Structure 1
Amino acid sequence: MTKPKEKKITGPTSSLLWGIILLFILAACTSSGSEPAPTGANDSITAGEVQEQEEARPTTQPEPAQTNSNEETAETETEISPETAETSGGEPIVTEDGLVIFTVDDRGERLRSLTRTWNTNWNLHTIDYSEILSGGPPRDGIPSIDDPKFITPEEAATWLADNEPVIAFEWNGDARAYPLQILTWHEIVNDIVGDLPVLITFCPLCNSAIVFDRTINGETFEFGTSGLLRNSDLVMYDRTTESLWQQLTGDAIVGDMVGTRLKFLPSSLISFADFREAHPNGKVLSRDTGYNRRYGENPYVGYDQIGQNPFLFTGPIDGRLPAMERVVTVSLNDTDVAYPLSVLSELGVINDTINDTAVVVFHKPGTASALGAQIIAQAEDVGATGVFERTVDDQTLTFRRDGDNFVDEETGTTWNILGQAITGPLAGTQLTPVVHGDHFWFSWAAFKPDTIIYTP
């Protein structure tokens, strides 16, 4: 396995620095019900603090303001009580699975000031507190959507362009689309789909759109934004225990829930047109969120350019790929694989096998980036992806792209980007979806340094 190469990243311009800070302050000031800043704490990072915390900054011009056999299972690796932490003498706890849990509150002055009104159990954590940075707004300054409203695709078409990206998720026949033009401003939706409590998340800085089951040990949790980042990735918190959770991994990293991982659920980042065609009776998240935001506009203009540097990322860059290269990621049977979008978009289809599991990775043009142009519908076409098991009724299929769809060579059946057989001998069949992500390389590699990069 190739060892990641480290590469230093260069610093930002001062005008961009204050532009991003202004964006975050706007989000904090205009959100309803957001938590006030602790006395004496500045919720937005200062120029000096950013220069100390990071050496990277994107050159952007921000505007003001189904079932799945491969899904990861929710699992509680260990249960540690506050009393255990208090009586451990500060010695780390090592679980049977090898997880190291630190049992001392050694927050730095800055983090302690920002979080001093929180009821989080800071005595329990699996990460070094120096890895956590302030993203700007306070906790809930970027407000989650907790009472989502939905409209029909026909109604959404009056303001949502065909090429705009949506997170598509279906459970028990209930298909829903969550437009990134809304998620970019809220990052979290607490929803119930097909009677399943789910957590819809999007981290713009990492381009990470992930869906989780938010039921843990029989209890439904509600999540919000903490205002904190780690490896530039969204750090969430639950409103029951106020533990902190890493969005990209689903792990509880601070608080009473450490040792717990949220269950990943299969979803797809596709165009609104593709969702509407596949699910004409589906539901689309409404702009009626209770907040006044410039939906349809991108507050991170130009952030996704391949030559840019990530925002608020202090770690080494894995030099095997450009930091902002988009990758389709799959974790199967303890193996992590990344498929560079630059390769996938040229091939259209990748037939692969990961630890004896035959998978196929689809790419279809027609989906705009949410992080490029000021108006999302006018952004660069980065396409949509899908990952599925390619074995149907004990037969392993081999796929090729055929126009906007995909055809298997064994039966001649035509399939769409969501793995649905639309014509041919297998019409009506659904390929088993594989949990996957569409991330920027730097963020995925920071959490998964042993990732294998696919090469043709």
Structure 2
Amino acid sequence: MADMDEQPRTPSSRTPEDPTPGPDRRQVLKGAAVIGGLAALAVGGGIYGVRQLTDGSSGSPPSAPESAGTVPPSLDRLAAGVVSGGPGKDGIPAIGKPRFLDADHARFLSDDQPVFGLEARGGERPCAYPQLVLIWHEIVNDRLNDRPLTVTYCPLAGTAIAFTGPPDKAALTFGTTGNLVNSNLLMYDRQTDSTWPQLTGTAITGGRKGQTLATTPLLWTTWKQWRSAHPRTRVLSTDTGYLRDYGSDPYGSYTRHSGYYVEGGPVFPVLARDRSRRLADKDVVLGLRRGAHHLAISKKRIEREGSVRAEVGGRPVRVVWDRELDTARLATDSRAPVEAFDAMWFAWYAFYPDTQVLP
């Protein structure tokens, strides 16, 4: 991971790698008054749909298939459920050559700005990936301990996940397809053109179909709390090589808890809906995954109780509220090989309708 000492710069021109001159779906959402009404969504000068967006009362987007019951969607069913998100392939440009700042030089970050924190591993310094950068790119192709690391963020599903590669440890790099499945980022790898829903990390088409990417934990916290806990952290710079309005969020605001992040249901169709309404669509859960076993625990519950014990696939786990970072995480005494990450309830359920739930 490359370091920088200078103040981050906003590029004054578009790079050749940026193929889409028109607005992407974030700009569309910002300008279309998406929450609670009809929106004509334009991308690159063309209209790609007029959708009735949910206002929280109907609880279901248009064209959303009925719940799959207790059976998780198969790879083929997920592939059949892919829809256009607006921009074309690589229209949302992944960052391929990330640059980093020391904490003291990251003056573009306010204390309450969300960051996705990667704790120190194998001699590497901790690193923060700001949400205000990832909102415009969704994928960062980085390296950790001289191995590929792909940091991903899907604002529609509220998921930030870091991947370390497929089972054969091939050095894959990823881009955005411009498509979605279950209102979640659909990635592709540039080596085989296989496609991978971000939330599952399992390829649904291509030569790597059925393979699952290994993950490494990211912690969703704020810049103030991350920097206090990790003063030597490095920070992904806004000097990305692309002209973007870093600092604005067309979906709303996590810091002021507004807009898409709290209102209505999913904008795009999903394959399964929780009709029992155990949680609201946009409620954030800590999703736990161990093989074919899945558990969702309300993040509010973890904060309220401080510690929650549960089982995933017959293995005991404990999740805690990290008060230093103000977020939920697996406890260090949890020995089970379990993945854990934040997700909006509707997205977790759409992929895992057989999930256990602790609301």
State the TM-score, normalizing by the size of structure 1: 0.60
SS at match of 2:133: helix
Q: Confirm whether residue 388 of structure 1 aligns to residue 331 of structure 2.
A: yes
Q: Percent identity?
A: 34
Q: Confirm whether residue 357 of structure 1 aligns to residue 311 of structure 2.
A: no
The aligned residue for residue 273 of structure 2 is: 317
Specify which of 46, 49, 53 is matched with residue 46 of structure 1: 49
Tell me the alpha carbon deviations over residues 211-264 of structure 1, each in whole angstroms, 9 at most, x when there is no partner: 101355242111000000001000001111111111000011011111211112
SS at match of 2:248: coil
* Inter-partner Cα distance in structure 1 for 2:101 and 2:92: 23
Once structures 1 and 2 are overlaid, which stretch shifts more, 348-357 or 288-297?
348-357
Q: Confirm whether residue 308 of structure 1 aligns to residue 264 of structure 2.
A: yes
Tell me the alpha carbon deviations over residues 392-423 of structure 1, each in whole angstroms, 9 at most, x when there is no partner: 9xxxxxxxxxxxxxxxxxxxxxxxxxxxxxxx
Contact 1:163 1:271 (8 Å CA) reproduced: yes
Q: State the one-letter code of the partner of 2:298.
A: P
SS at match of 2:110: coil
Where do 1:180-195 residues align within 5 Å? 180-195=131-146
Q: Which runs of 4+ in 1 moved over 6 A?
A: none
* Inter-partner Cα distance in structure 2 for 1:333 and 1:257: 18
Q: Confirm whether residue 223 of structure 1 aligns to residue 174 of structure 2.
A: yes
The aligned residue for residue 162 of structure 1 is: 111
Change (3 A) 1:357 1:443: same
The aligned residue for residue 354 of structure 2 is: 450
Structure 2: gaps (5+ residues) = 1-34, 58-71, 253-258
Could you say which structure has the higher helix fraction?
Answer: 1
Specify which of 315, 332, 337 is matched with residue 295 of structure 2: 337
Task: State the 1:328 CA deviation.
Answer: 0.8
Contact 1:167 1:269 (8 Å CA) reproduced: yes
* Inter-partner Cα distance in structure 2 for 1:180 and 1:312: 22
Tell me the alpha carbon deviations over residues 398-455 of structure 1, each in whole angstroms, 9 at most, x when there is no partner: xxxxxxxxxxxxxxxxxxxxxxxxxxxxxxxxxx995311110000001111111125
SS at match of 2:239: coil
Once structures 1 and 2 are overlaid, which stretch shifts more, 322-331 or 336-345?
336-345
* Inter-partner Cα distance in structure 2 for 1:140 and 1:57: 31
Equivalent pairs, count? 300
* Inter-partner Cα distance in structure 2 for 1:255 and 1:57: 37
Change (3 A) 1:448 1:194: same
Change (3 A) 1:215 1:262: closer
User: Who wins on radius of gyration, i.e. which is larger?
Assistant: 1
SS at match of 2:215: strand
Q: State the one-letter code of the partner of 2:117.
A: A
Q: State the one-letter code of the partner of 2:168.
A: N
How big is the alpha-carbon RMSD for the aligned residues of Structure 1 and Structure 2?
A: 2.8
SS at match of 2:188: strand
* Inter-partner Cα distance in structure 2 for 1:361 and 1:433: 16
Task: State the 1:388 CA deviation.
Answer: 2.3
Task: State the 1:130 CA deviation.
Answer: 3.9
Tell me the alpha carbon deviations over residues 374-397 of structure 1, each in whole angstroms, 9 at most, x when there is no partner: xxxxxxxxx5222224269xxxxx
Tell me the alpha carbon deviations over residues 43-65 of structure 1, each in whole angstroms, 9 at most, x when there is no partner: x5222xx46xxx64789xxxxxx
Tell me the alpha carbon deviations over residues 290-320 of structure 1, each in whole angstroms, 9 at most, x when there is no partner: 1111112111020111x51111124442122
The aligned residue for residue 184 of structure 2 is: 233
State the TM-score, normalizing by the size of structure 2: 0.76
Change (3 A) 1:454 1:292: same
SS at match of 2:191: coil
The aligned residue for residue 13 of structure 1 is: 37
* Inter-partner Cα distance in structure 2 for 1:172 and 1:188: 23
Q: State the one-letter code of the partner of 1:345.
A: E
Higher relative contact order (CA 8 A, sep 6+): 2
Structure 1: gaps (5+ residues) = 1-10, 30-41, 60-98, 102-124, 367-382, 393-431
Contact 2:270 2:350 (8 Å CA) reproduced: no
* Inter-partner Cα distance in structure 2 for 1:331 and 1:216: 17
Task: State the 1:166 CA deviation.
Answer: 1.1
Change (3 A) 1:165 1:363: same
* Inter-partner Cα distance in structure 2 for 1:132 and 1:333: 23
* Inter-partner Cα distance in structure 1 for 2:73 and 2:114: 38
Q: Confirm whether residue 436 of structure 1 aligns to residue 323 of structure 2.
A: no
Where do 1:8-407 residues align within 5 Å? 13-14=37-38, 17-18=39-40, 21-22=41-42, 25=43, 45-47=48-50, 50=51, 56=54, 126-127=76-77, 129-156=79-106, 158-170=107-119, 171-174=121-124, 175-214=126-165, 217-301=168-252, 302-305=259-262, 307-318=263-274, 319-332=277-290, 334-354=292-312, 355-364=314-323, 383-390=326-333
